[in-house]
Amino acid sequence: MSASSVAIRRTGIAIRPKLTAKTYSTAYHEAHKKSLDCREEFWAEAAEDLTWFKKWNKVIDHTNPPFTKWFLGGEINHCYNAVDRHVEKGRGSQPAIIHDSPVTKSVSKMTYSELLDQVSRLAGVLSKLGVKKGDRVMIYMPMIPQAIISMMATVRLGGIHVVVFGGFAGKELSVRINSCKPKVIICANYGIEPTRLVSYKPMVDQAIEMAEHKPLKTIVFQRPNLDPVTLNNNTDVDWNEQISSARPHDCVPVESNHPMYLLYTSGTTGLPKAAVRPTAGHSVVLNWSMQNIYGVKPGEIFWTAADIGWAVGHSYACHGPLLHCNTTVIYEGKPVGTPDASSFFRIINDHKVSCLFTAPTALRVIKREDPKATASSKYDMSSLRTLFVAGEHCDIDTAQWAMKAFKSPVLDHWWQTETGHPITASCVGLGNSLEPPSGSTGVPVPGWDVQVVDEDGVPVEPGQLGNIVVRLPLNLGTFQTIWEDDDSYVDTYFKKYPGYYDTMDAGVKDEKGYVSVMSRTDDVINVAGHRLSCGHIEEAICSHKDVVEAAVVAKDDEIKGSTPFAYIILKPGCSVEKNQIFQEIVQLVRQQIGPVAAFKEGIFVNRLPKTRSGKTPRKTLESLVNKKPYKVSPTIEDETVYPELEQLLKNEMMES
Ligand code: COA
Ligand code: AMP
């Protein structure tokens, strides 16, 4: 595949190099250059902002690429830097967390001192249950402060937190339990979705039942004003009971490259893989990014409207803002429907938010309900300086609408679970333009040497579409491997372009260095900013007894960007009514992956196109369902299948 043939999922992206004198600030330019030319000096300076138990003796070791180690010989504790440090410096009375929960009709605040008390007590509970440095603690919770407390308590002990998004089903949990073998699971009794209670505890029980590995204990947080669930005396402990009598536990220093957390994400294969996040590099870069990318000062209110189950929520609802002594808003609600499309504006007004970070999907859904943004005029938006978006492509209409509605610059930036912080952005703190070219995600963040290359790894001309790669060494704080699978780390990300990290995103870099991200080059789809593997959904579909084969592709969706669409082949002679089978398949996907997959549409077909090597050309099938022009590859065995599929798509779409 040549660079120009890289599939573009989105159309209408105007790459308009609208450059002004202020586009490239000297501060940014110098910082970026220094970060690549004098890496050690640049990041050592940033590392000085944190408190170390033992100072490092070498900033970077890249002698065994792609494995890179940072701050060798250093000892640090992330929780100390994110919590204790601020209390010791006299900021204990500042709110650390504002929990705004329209689904429980409540708003509460927790100061840094209160957070320290809760975190050190929960660390005491975990320690009593046997959790030690390096042990995994799985966290399956809604957007409540206790989720943040659990993450911090785990790293306080040198444990490794593994947060699983609440929208994943029990089977997904069990796969993760078997993979990371947690010593303890922490869950809440319920999550609250606008239309229903989500019973977390039975899902945890079901997952443990299915898994081979059995955690020692499950800590259950029983939410106030909801019926407590019955606990099993042998396996469960009650959060509230334990915390009230717990002895606070101190921070345990860990070596700089000790894993701080695992976060499962989707790739081409059906099995989720866990990105391993190193402690020191991640803490240093997140702390640095709060000032230099997002341009906020300690004490200001930072709101990331993303679930802590995703990388965005990890880095910027929890770890980044707390490291930098900001107040983080934990929002337990939706952009619309809790109770209406004014929630985002209300929260900015009520809590005086300085910087909002959300996914374009959230903006699109508010725009659909309130196209004139009438709600925004009822609230004071003056505190908001910037609105950052990421997770999926932000269309220009939505960005322009949001700029007016939120009365703030809208800055698209690009990153991945693997990187844990942005690869490209408008670095506000370094003076980058607040009006980057429409459709771009900004410029490479310091530490990132971003190139766009063709299939042979040769750089393409500015403005040409290609594969986005990053020259090694990878920046600090990015994933250091895949959990217990160094081979797949190397093979998946570093083999195709020797000396580079393959981002698996296709895009364009213009002559000034602005990067626009178009589509994934692998079989990952992005549903409402959530990354899902086509192969994984196909596996769930194929577990239906009447299904022979399935191909899942991304269908364009006005709100969610895309949703999964399945081409399904049934067993010959299957006599059950097709609609019934389709509804059963939809249920299977919900049970096996979770409602978050948002799988609702597909079609039954008699055959699928195949290349001579037996592969299904998903990109072509995607063009077909999106009614876009498609090209039949010369390696396709029988191209007569395409008109047949087109005909079926016109007449026989199935929906749930
Ligand atoms: N626990 C349990 N179930 C959850 C869940 C959670 N934490 N989050 C979502 N779900 C369920 C929903 O209830 C829904 O179930 P349903 O099919 O029974 O209705 C399903 O998963 C899909 O949810 P969602 O993706 O939230 O879609 P939606 O149609 O309910 O809402 C939006 C649409 C746009 C409001 C929503 O997708 C949204 O807020 N997106 C923001 C995206 C985002 O934050 N991305 C993070 C990466 S930056
Ligand atoms: P995740 O790992 O879930 O954060 O998803 C990462 C993927 O989301 C990236 O590889 C991109 O495909 C997509 N993505 C993230 N941010 C952007 C953005 N600003 N523009 C376009 N795509 C994005």
Question: pLDDT tens, 462-471?
Answer: 999 999 999 9
- The answer, yes or no, to whether any atom of ligand 1 lies below 6 A from the CB of 314, is no
How do residues 253-274 score in pLDDT, each as one tens digit?
999 999 999 999 987 666 779 9
Task: State the average pLDDT over residues 513-542.
Answer: 90
CA–CA separation, 288 and 475 (whole Å):
13
Q: Could you tell me the residue ranges of all domains in the chain? A: 528-655
**Peptide bond before residue 66 is cis, with ω within 30 degrees of 0:** yes
Residue whose structure tokens are 């029980």 = 205
Q: pLDDT value at position 632?
A: 79
Cβ contacts of 195 within 8 Å, gap of 6 or more: none
Best mutation site among 168, 203, 334 for ligand 1 pocket (most ligand atoms within 8 Å of CB)? 334
Mean pLDDT, the chain, rounded, equals 93
Cβ contacts of 258 within 8 Å, gap of 6 or more: 133, 134, 158, 278, 279
Phi, psi at 240, each rounded to 5°: -60, -45
Q: Closest ligand to 362 CA?
A: 1
Task: List the beta bridge partners of residue 386.
Answer: 355
Task: List the beta bridge partners of residue 506.
Answer: 467, 519
Q: HSE of 262 in the Cβ direction (CA atoms, 13 Å)?
A: 25
- Angle at which helices 170-180 and 200-210 pack, to 10 degrees? 50
Residue 591 predicted with pLDDT over 50 = yes
- The answer, yes or no, to whether any atom of ligand 1 lies below 6 A from the CB of 260, is no
Best mutation site among 310, 389, 412, 416 for ligand 2 pocket (most ligand atoms within 8 Å of CB)? 416
Give the lowest-confidence range in 22-31, 219-228, 294-303, 403-412.
Answer: 22-31
Task: State the average pLDDT over residues 80-94.
Answer: 98
Is residue 656 within 8 A of residue 583, CB to CB? The reply is: yes
Return the structure tokens found at 186: 């922490």
pTM: 0.91
- The answer, yes or no, to whether any atom of ligand 2 lies below 6 A from the CB of 519, is no
- Residue type at 615? K
Residue 2 predicted with pLDDT over 80 = no
Return the structure tokens found at 584: 């059963």
Between residues 405 and 5, the one the model is more confident about? 405
CA of 450 to the centre of ligand 2 (A): 15
CA of 596 to the centre of ligand 1 (A): 6
CATH 3.40.640.10 fits 528-655, yes or no: no
CA–CA separation, 256 and 557 (whole Å):
43
Longest C-alpha distance within the chain, in Å? 74
Residue 634 predicted with pLDDT over 90 = no
Residue 12 predicted with pLDDT over 70 = no
- Angle at which helices 145-156 and 112-128 pack, to 10 degrees? 60
DSSP 494-554: TSSSTTEEEEEEEEEE-TT--EEEEEESSSEEEETTEEEEHHHHHHHHHTSTTEEEEEEEE
Between residues 389 and 269, the one the model is more confident about? 389
CA angle 511, 516, 518 (to 5 degrees): 135
Return the structure tokens found at 171: 């089977």
- Residue type at 492? T
Q: Which residues of 375-392 are buried (b: 16+ CB within 10 A; e: fewer)?
A: bbeeeebeebbbbbbbbb
Q: pLDDT value at position 637?
A: 75
CA of 415 to the centre of ligand 2 (A): 6
Phi, psi at 652, each rounded to 5°: -130, 35
The whole-angstrom distance between residue 20's C-alpha and the CA centroid of its chain comes to: 32
Whose alpha carbon is nearest atom 9 of ligand 1?
Answer: 167
Cβ contacts of 368 within 8 Å, gap of 6 or more: 336, 558, 559
CA of 4 to the centre of ligand 1 (A): 34
Give the lowest-confidence range in 36-45, 58-67, 619-628.
Answer: 619-628
Q: pLDDT value at position 20?
A: 40
Task: State the average pLDDT over residues 344-370.
Answer: 97
Task: State the average pLDDT over residues 350-375.
Answer: 96
